Copies of this chain bind each other. A is one copy, B any other.
Amino acid sequence: MPIVQIDFFEGKTVEQKRVLAEKVTKAIAESLNCPETAVSIIMREMKTDNYAKAGRLWCDN
């Protein structure tokens, strides 16, 4: 705890996820005043035909 779930589009590199993990963990630990070791992050990669905004699939934009 805290437990974080992040949905984003596929196509990110492992290095981008590495930086994401470091930065988000630090951001949460600082703002919620908890140790970084307490933070878990689940990332979910999504295809652009699995997300819609305003009734429209992202792949159709």
Contact = CB atoms under 8 A, between A and B. Distances in A.
Contact of A60 (B18, B25, B36): B18
Interface residues of A, number: 52
A28 B24 contact: yes
Nearest to A41: B52
Nearest to A8: B2
A52 to B, nearest CB: 4
Given A4-B6, A12-B32, A32-B8, A37 B21 contact: no
A8 to B, nearest CB: 4
Contacts of A58: 1
Contacts of A23: 26-28, 30-31
